Structure 1
Amino acid sequence: MLGPVEVRGDQGVVAVAAPRQRALLALLALEAGRVVGHDRLVDGLYPEPPSGAVNALQSQVSRLRRSVPGLLVEHHPAGYRLVADPSDVDAHRCAELLDAGRGAQALALWRGTALADVDAPFAEQARHRLTELFVRSVLAGGTIADLCELLARHPLREDVRAAVMRALHRDGHTSEALRVFEQGRALLADELGVDPSPVLAAAHVEVLRAAAPHRGVPEQLTSFVGRDDDLRRVTAQLAGHRLVTLVGPGGTGKTRLAAEVAARDRGEVAFVDLSATTDVARALLDGVGAREAGLLDGAAAGVEQRLRAALSAREILLVADNCEHVVDEAARVLGGLLTTCAGVRVLATSREPLGITGETLHPVTGLDEAAAARLFGDRARAVAPGFTGEHALVAEVCRRLDGIALAVELAAARVRTLPLSEIAARLDDRFRLLSHGPRTAAPRHRTLHAVVEWSWELLDDAERDLAARFTVFTGSASLAAVTAVTGSDVGVLTSLVDKSLVEMHGDRYRMLDTIRAFCAARAPDLRARHARWFLDRAREAEPHLRSHDQVRWLASLTADHDDLVAAVTWATGHDPCLALRLVAALSTYYWFRGLRTEAATRAEAVLRACGETPPPGLEQEYALCLLIAWPVATGDQTARIRQADALTHSLTGPPRFPIMTMMWGMALGAPESGSPVWHHRTRMLGDDPWSAALALVGDGLMARQSGDQAAGEQLLRRGAQAFTRIGDRWGAALAFAQLSELTLASGDAVAALEHAERARALLRELGATEDTAEAVTARGHARLAAGDLDAARTDFGVALKLARRSGALVVQAGAHLGLAGLARRAGDHTAAAAECDRAWELTPGGWYGPDELRCHIAAERGRIAAAAGDHGAARRHFEDAVLRAAGQRNRVTEAALRAELDALPSATASAPRPPAPACSRVTG
């Protein structure tokens, strides 16, 4: 088989001349001792099975028996079996020898290309399997010549290339081995666009390590995980710069990265750990293998002179690890080396820069979520084989540990004694949880507390004071916020950045949660000052959110979001009046960012803290909180809306925050023109351009609901233009969303789709997740009306995901309503009814927006019932929908629903039609 097919026995070598019989013998031999089915034999032998294939196969077996005396081929009901031990077949024998580690003997069995004289349908696949066997044979027992010949035939086989490299290196041809690697790297890049695999890279490192002295580079006992990009960048930086410093907080993996870079460097390397010394020059001299024999202890200049002499003519990469506690001395000594020894390159690790001219910094920060999770899984499986932790829980642990490699490894080691859920639950006390590290590690790396404490001890008093004060910030902070809230000096802050206690991203400053947890125990209580500063910040931003600067100011407040949440939360528990002011000042931000559900939760908590009566002088803020809280409000919602309405009636002019007018209008619904409610709404509107644009949209909505579609469309278009002129994307999106609903109701699905898409694009620009989900739902309804069912289903699915992410129940309900319409169109009435039920469960009742949605849910239930033939149920649902539309004074929707009600079969249409009640949304 491992060459031309032949049979060897007592009579010598017997060749099988007939091609079909030779193929039959090979096919049976590959399964020696096992029955091969008729179908498999026929398919394997004949490209096109002949008529009477079973008889033809029987004939070929008979001829094979005659041509090879002594060959035993048994017939079974299921097929035929070659009576032979697998070890009698050279292909099987080869595999056995390889498994036994006898590669040379396995290779000796080969006589050429496997199945060289077999031409049958099964042969190509069988030859491919046997080729893999040949590669294994050469790798296990071949000479350098054999390996090189194999590589010429398979130039993209990285395992073969790695074997060639190792063989050349063992034979003393190291430079040739490195050339083989470079050829392979270029070929992989040109042909496949990929980097060398771990197999080939490992062979490269192995050869490099032996090619040049690598003094002191620590051998690693665990795999290198999650820093491949850093590895490539640092290697590239060292190719173009003579001093590269890895900077970052303790435990992020600077030493490990430096060791990996050093191990892969093809030249001479000396790795020197400075953590246990204050005499940098002596440590470096020892590290490069030139101990200072005969020098006096105090002769520092002599040591440095000897070091320079030792390196003056050498090409060497000098790794200086853990420079932070001797940073001044390290900078002086290494700077002198770089200026006098042209062949020296330095890779330093430190928690702050060395400050040498020409220094290139490479920050080593926490691992990203994917890399940290891979590291956690790798280290967890090392102590608990078979570990398969829930991905989301592993990600949470890694995120809360800031992706700090040491912290992740210490947490992973805990899976041997604690369930993953317990590890996550105990991270609030992370220093106690992660208090056991490897006994062989340096003391400062054995526990998480020791890692941070090492950095803390290197700070001066001013730096420690600011590090402790900085912990008042929950997220990242601007320079203005840091200096104002902490009362700090800019120079001290930049020093903390240099020493990796604070990170800088763009123009903002952030402290890792692990460092914050350590420093917070030493911090004064600045939370009141913090909350008041962010109140001033919110008040400053609010008018800009209704202008052309909207996106920039929204982005600024979004960057502060974590601290805004912290400020509101603290004030709710300690200073409810301050909390009221904060929520009111942030109301425009909440609404324009589509954070209605989050805002409602904050507002409801503030209302509970304040009690049922507004604090004196804060009636507007209290009313605004009442209006904001409706998505999560419990209890008597009618009483709440009455209270909010009464408080707004005490206003003598427009409210301090114009968004309040819109929210008040949403809570009460569209007023009758000329009614007291309408006049009060007019008084609340300011004379600023934003309020004028809002009035146009509000008037358009009222015109639409009163039945004047043309006027409604004209006013909404003018409102969209007015909001666009002043730069408010949110207001323009509101107008386009209303235009989408209007045109869809009039039967123009194309225009509805265009308006919904414009609204979605504007909201996406603002990062308004909740409102974007609403716009995507509207687009789905337009696509459903246009008959594009697949696109509509995609939109409703996307909207559900976005709404769930932001906790927007009413928006989720709208998406489920869309899915109900899809199911009804498909004739699946059970699924449609279930989607309606889900939408109803998610929709609170009694307030304007949600009750409008309940009107549409009731109507959809009526359509489902009518489609299923239950006209009595259909009538009840339509009557409910009509009542809700009438209660909102939406005459267009009411008329359309009455038309659907009247269109039901006459047997049910005789029941009295419900009148339109003359009720107010305030009284319910």
Structure 2
Amino acid sequence: MWFGVLGPVEVRDESGTVITVAAPRQRALLAMLALDAGQIVGHARLLDGLYAEPPAGAANALQSQVSRLRKTVPGLVIEHHPAGYRLVCDPSEVDYLECVELLDAGRGADALSLWRGQALAGVDAPFADAARQRLSEVFINCALSGGTPTDLRQVLAEHPLREDVRAALMRALHRDGRQSEALEVFAQGRALLADELGVDPSPDLAAAHLEVLKAEAPHRGVPAQLTSFVGRDEDLRRVTKWLGENRLVTLIGPGGTGKTRLAVEVAHREPGEVAFVDLSATTDVARALLDGVGVREAGLLAAPVSVEDRLRAALASRTILLIVDNCEHVIDHAARVLGTVLAACPDVRVLATSREPLGITGETLSPVTALDEEAAVRLFGDRAQAVKPGFTAEHAVIAEVCRRLDGIALAIELAAARVRSLPITEIAARLDDRFRLLSKGSRTAAPRHRTLHAVVEWSWDLLTDAERDLAARFTVFHGSASLDAVTAVCESAVLDPAGDTLSSLVDKSLVEVVGDRYRMLDTIRAFCATHAPDLRDEHARWFLARAQEAEPHLRAREQVEWLTDLAADHDNLVAAVTWATANDVGLALELVAALATYYWCRGLRTEAAHQANAVLHACGETVPHGYMQEYAMCLLIAWPVATGDQTGRIRQADELLAELREPPRYPIMTMMWGMALGAPENDSQVWERRNRLLGDDPWSAALVFVGDGLVARMEGDQARGQELLRQGAAAFERIGDRWGAALAFNQLGEIALSEGDAASALVHIGRARDLLDELGATEDTAEAMIGQAQARLAAGDRERAKTDFDVALTLARRAGATSVQAGGHLGLAELARLTGDCATAYAECDKAWELTPGGWYGPDEMRCHIAVQRGRIAKTEGDLVQARAHFEDALRRALGQRNRVTETAVRAELAALGP
């Protein structure tokens, strides 16, 4: 949800749809809460801000306004506290708070772009005038930090005696080469100050005047720009600052990221002399520089000195900024010439652009990286509007296009240019063949910038054979890779132990370093992959070894560190399984089995299930020779998402495990076997098999406590189940397995909830959530959120329960966990029933039913609970016949699950209906 106060007061839902708040007092209340979002706003302050004369029963009136506002804006979360009310939202969801944050970060232009008109427009309440005055100061600071001359003129018109604004306007006009206008602004200000206040201009305003008067012809050969400068305000601020502190700054980055555009913008804003030199079409750096600073070549024909000597002589006494563009193809020559110029000419500064550093002592590197999502979307929209006025598209669709183009400015501009002839959805669909799609650029651009292919090819052609070989091999990785992985998988004869070739690719902007990992932009990867040998088998086998090495550590105290390492390679692991599934089913089976613990601990069960299901289909009905354990593991992982005979798959896994005479290679297999079979019958053979599968390691011992606790609970012995689960939680905590401990704490929470102790349930579930947060376990966290919501519901806190259910559903959808989504909708059904909205309650039950084709405890477990809820809804409506039918359906399912707890609860519901 998004809240706007920097203009008309607005609220938008997650889809961007504006929700109208028509009632003036509700609109004013929303504005007051939004201005201090995340903080408690006191009752007295709210009343004084809303009413000139607070009405009788003021507290009730305020409570009524809050209640109406919640109904007007579905999903709005306003918490009540003893001291007042608090709007619950992220600061980035309120334009004012985001504006202040951007301003503090030095991104004044971005902050200014958030303003939509007069602040709090349409709000007429006692608080409004003071609030607008406060917001006016914020707007002025935005204009001072990042405003254009137009913005500053607007502020100055409203505040003509603000000398800081007048000085900023003069400097902005001066940067644009409009010296006469800047001097006129000063003259008007001096006269106004004398007439109104009888004072002279302040030192700051006088200094701005002096800067304009002393200006020399500042911009020699700097290209004029035909498009607006979008998305690099922070880079612009940083580079300008560094040029004030250093004599050589080099903008480095891949082709097309916008290095030249940024350098040109810096040049236009530089108050002193600037010369722009493009090296892309020359190999004679010194002569190009001499031409760029305005020394005529005719004067050199008979000169007794070299070009470089003449260049140094021409610059020796000048204060000048040299913008030297496109150094990469003459990097050695450029470094030598610029190095001698900087050494001999103390008042010369250089801003260079290159795809690799110049390597000169004192060089300051400023990487020009991919645009962030916000800037990329703004750039796409700006350029699309230029070719197709009125262009609009969903933010999410534009963001996805920009993400797939790696945030590369040129690629985004080329894609935006295609909206004139293609819908944006079609552009997104064609990005797999991005080089063909983005093959038409500006006819006035340099050839290497007219197509995306040409941009990357320019970098490729500048590589050595060794660098090309490694760049091509590197494309086998997905996401990023460690140095160990690159060294082992690429097996390049040119990748020396010290990694010099890889470092060279980093220097030349073909590979990026993020922490201690290396990655290649998808656009560069797509080009280099056309030159690559097939290393996918080596890639998959290296990551199999990595997963096998990690597995024991995932059940121990160092669990989080190893999970973090594997999570960094998640894209590689998925790619390895996908390739092996189509090419080597034995390898695929090994990978799925080795990764089972990783997927389980990270709460990615549904993703793992789909992978395992694909491997089983690739294997067919026959177990590959020598892979019995791995095949059984796939069966146990995949059955919740499998189509067809799910029970048959569980039975097949059970039969395969019956052949084992010792614990399996991966202990988690025993846990998954128990979950798939459900509560065991009093069958000595089943118990004997379970004991045979259990190892004597501490993790398996902890699992016994939790497993036996679950069984005891399902058999109706709550006290014994509770004690065993406590022992299991303690045992898992001793060995450091957060996931196992969280499982036990969640179950303890459910027991407490069933006994009516909502406070204890919240404590246990909160402990589980803390542990799951350490693991980043999305699916399990969603389940814990549902348990927390149910506990809040039992405690009577319906508002926070609704929030928790919504968060759980969001997490579950993100993880693709349909069974967890079903639990979320079932919780919302209970909430709707309690509020008397039986139609919504039935609808939520229907959604839960549709999402329950399978589940980790069997579809009947969830469908039993859905039937119970439907029975309660029918009972609430007074339809006892229908209620009995639903409860009887639930009882049949509970008996099939051998769950005594649920069976007892359903029998109680039936008994309450009477004979």
TM range (shorter): 0.7 to 0.9
Q: Distance in 2 between matches of 1:507 and 1:148?
A: 50
- Verify: 1:769 aligned to 2:773, yes or no: no
1:660-680 C-alpha deviation (Å, 9 max, x unpaired): 111110000122466321221
Q: Distance in 1 between matches of 2:166 and 2:903?
A: 73
Structure 2 equivalent of residue 426 of structure 1: 430
Structure 1 equivalent of residue 638 of structure 2: 629
- Verify: 1:471 aligned to 2:481, yes or no: no
1:370 alignment partner AA: E
Q: Shift in Å at residue 156 of structure 1? A: 7.8
Q: Shift in Å at residue 365 of structure 1? A: 1.3
Change (3 A) 1:846 1:410: closer
Could you say what the CA RMSD is over the residues aligned between the two structures, in angstroms? 3.0
- What does residue range 721-736 of structure 1 map to in structure 2 within 5 Å? 721-736=730-745
Structure 2 equivalent of residue 450 of structure 1: 454
- Verify: 1:287 aligned to 2:292, yes or no: yes
Q: TM-score, normalised by structure 2?
A: 0.78
Structure 2 equivalent of residue 503 of structure 1: 512
Structure 2 equivalent of residue 650 of structure 1: 659
Structure 2 equivalent of residue 355 of structure 1: 359
Three-state SS of the structure 2 residue aligned to 1:860 is helix
Q: Shift in Å at residue 848 of structure 1? A: 2.7
Q: Distance in 2 between matches of 1:233 and 1:171?
A: 28
The match for 2:522 among 513, 525, 529 is 513
Q: Shift in Å at residue 326 of structure 1? A: 0.5
Structure 2 equivalent of residue 334 of structure 1: 338
Q: Distance in 2 between matches of 1:740 and 1:298?
A: 90
- Verify: 1:801 aligned to 2:810, yes or no: yes
Change (3 A) 1:148 1:254: closer
The match for 1:788 among 793, 797, 800 is 797
- Verify: 1:170 aligned to 2:170, yes or no: no
2:327 alignment partner AA: C
Structure 2 equivalent of residue 256 of structure 1: 261
Structure 1 equivalent of residue 859 of structure 2: 850
Q: Distance in 1 between matches of 2:172 and 2:331?
A: 45
Q: Shift in Å at residue 625 of structure 1? A: 0.5
Q: Shift in Å at residue 335 of structure 1? A: 0.9
Change (3 A) 1:678 1:564: same
- What does residue range 476-495 of structure 1 map to in structure 2 within 5 Å? 476-488=480-492, 489=495, 490-495=499-504
Change (3 A) 1:704 1:339: same
Q: Shift in Å at residue 715 of structure 1? A: 1.2
Q: Are the equivalent residues in 1 in contact too, given 2:640–2:856 (CA < 8 A)?
A: no
Three-state SS of the structure 1 residue aligned to 2:282 is coil
Q: Distance in 1 between matches of 2:850 and 2:786?
A: 18
- Verify: 1:403 aligned to 2:403, yes or no: no
Change (3 A) 1:755 1:604: same
Structure 1 equivalent of residue 244 of structure 2: 239
Q: Shift in Å at residue 843 of structure 1? A: 0.8
Three-state SS of the structure 2 residue aligned to 1:540 is helix
Three-state SS of the structure 2 residue aligned to 1:606 is helix
Number of paired residues? Answer: 746
Three-state SS of the structure 2 residue aligned to 1:901 is helix
Q: Are the equivalent residues in 2 in contact too, given 1:174–1:211 (CA < 8 A)?
A: no
Structure 2 equivalent of residue 93 of structure 1: none
Q: Are the equivalent residues in 2 in contact too, given 1:469–1:486 (CA < 8 A)?
A: yes
1:565 alignment partner AA: V
1:871 alignment partner AA: L
Q: Shift in Å at residue 211 of structure 1? A: 5.3
Unaligned runs of 5+ in 2: 1-51, 54-125, 134-154, 194-204
Three-state SS of the structure 2 residue aligned to 1:698 is helix
The match for 1:694 among 691, 695, 703 is 703
The match for 1:223 among 216, 224, 228 is 228
1:408 alignment partner AA: I
Q: Distance in 1 between matches of 2:548 and 2:345?
A: 60
- Verify: 1:366 aligned to 2:349, yes or no: no
Q: Are the equivalent residues in 2 in contact too, given 1:568–1:602 (CA < 8 A)?
A: yes
Structure 2 equivalent of residue 866 of structure 1: 875
Q: Which segment drifts farther, 877-886 or 799-808?
A: 877-886
Q: Are the equivalent residues in 1 in contact too, given 2:640–2:646 (CA < 8 A)?
A: no
Q: Shift in Å at residue 778 of structure 1? A: 0.6
Q: Are the equivalent residues in 2 in contact too, given 1:694–1:731 (CA < 8 A)?
A: yes
2:180 alignment partner AA: R
Unaligned runs of 5+ in 1: 1-46, 49-120, 129-146, 184-199, 910-924
Q: Distance in 1 between matches of 2:156 and 2:716?
A: 86
- Verify: 1:586 aligned to 2:595, yes or no: yes
The match for 2:380 among 373, 376, 397 is 376
1:576 alignment partner AA: V
Change (3 A) 1:616 1:892: same
Q: Are the equivalent residues in 1 in contact too, given 2:789–2:804 (CA < 8 A)?
A: yes
Q: TM-score, normalised by structure 1?
A: 0.77
Q: Distance in 2 between matches of 1:358 and 1:572?
A: 52
- Verify: 1:343 aligned to 2:315, yes or no: no
Q: Shift in Å at residue 693 of structure 1? A: 1.0
1:516-539 C-alpha deviation (Å, 9 max, x unpaired): 111111111111111111111111
Q: Shift in Å at residue 620 of structure 1? A: 0.8
Computing the radius of gyration over CA atoms, which structure comes out larger, 1 or 2? 1
1:880 alignment partner AA: D
Change (3 A) 1:609 1:817: same
The match for 2:717 among 694, 708, 711 is 708
Q: Distance in 1 between matches of 2:708 and 2:724?
A: 7
The match for 1:269 among 266, 274, 288 is 274
1:105-143 C-alpha deviation (Å, 9 max, x unpaired): xxxxxxxxxxxxxxxx9xx9xxx9xxxxxxxxxxxxxxx
Q: Are the equivalent residues in 1 in contact too, given 2:156–2:162 (CA < 8 A)?
A: no
Q: Distance in 2 between matches of 1:527 and 1:174?
A: 68
1:219 alignment partner AA: A
Q: Are the equivalent residues in 1 in contact too, given 2:456–2:527 (CA < 8 A)?
A: yes
Structure 2 equivalent of residue 108 of structure 1: none
Q: Are the equivalent residues in 2 in contact too, given 1:292–1:303 (CA < 8 A)?
A: no
Three-state SS of the structure 1 residue aligned to 2:624 is coil
Q: Are the equivalent residues in 2 in contact too, given 1:435–1:449 (CA < 8 A)?
A: yes
Three-state SS of the structure 2 residue aligned to 1:833 is helix
- Verify: 1:564 aligned to 2:573, yes or no: yes
Change (3 A) 1:439 1:747: same
Change (3 A) 1:476 1:168: closer
Three-state SS of the structure 1 residue aligned to 2:300 is coil
Structure 1 equivalent of residue 694 of structure 2: 685
Q: Distance in 2 between matches of 1:387 and 1:149?
A: 33
Percent identical residues: 72
Change (3 A) 1:881 1:790: same
1:502-525 C-alpha deviation (Å, 9 max, x unpaired): 111111111111111111111111
Three-state SS of the structure 1 residue aligned to 2:276 is strand
1:629-681 C-alpha deviation (Å, 9 max, x unpaired): 12311101111110010011111111111111111100001224663212211
Q: Distance in 1 between matches of 2:554 and 2:212?
A: 62
The match for 1:524 among 505, 513, 533 is 533
Structure 1 equivalent of residue 761 of structure 2: 752
Change (3 A) 1:518 1:208: farther
Three-state SS of the structure 2 residue aligned to 1:346 is strand
Q: Which segment drifts farther, 886-895 or 243-252?
A: 886-895
Q: Are the equivalent residues in 2 in contact too, given 1:164–1:177 (CA < 8 A)?
A: no
Q: Distance in 2 between matches of 1:172 and 1:800?
A: 57
Q: Distance in 2 between matches of 1:693 and 1:158?
A: 72
Structure 2 equivalent of residue 6 of structure 1: none
Q: Shift in Å at residue 207 of structure 1? A: 6.5
Three-state SS of the structure 2 residue aligned to 1:366 is coil
Three-state SS of the structure 2 residue aligned to 1:521 is helix
Three-state SS of the structure 2 residue aligned to 1:306 is helix
Q: Shift in Å at residue 845 of structure 1? A: 5.0
Q: Distance in 2 between matches of 1:213 and 1:859?
A: 80
Q: Distance in 2 between matches of 1:208 and 1:401?
A: 46
Q: Are the equivalent residues in 1 in contact too, given 2:474–2:486 (CA < 8 A)?
A: yes
Q: Distance in 2 between matches of 1:265 and 1:208?
A: 15
Structure 2 equivalent of residue 544 of structure 1: 553
Three-state SS of the structure 2 residue aligned to 1:226 is coil
1:449-485 C-alpha deviation (Å, 9 max, x unpaired): 1111110110111111111111111211111111111
Structure 1 equivalent of residue 416 of structure 2: 412
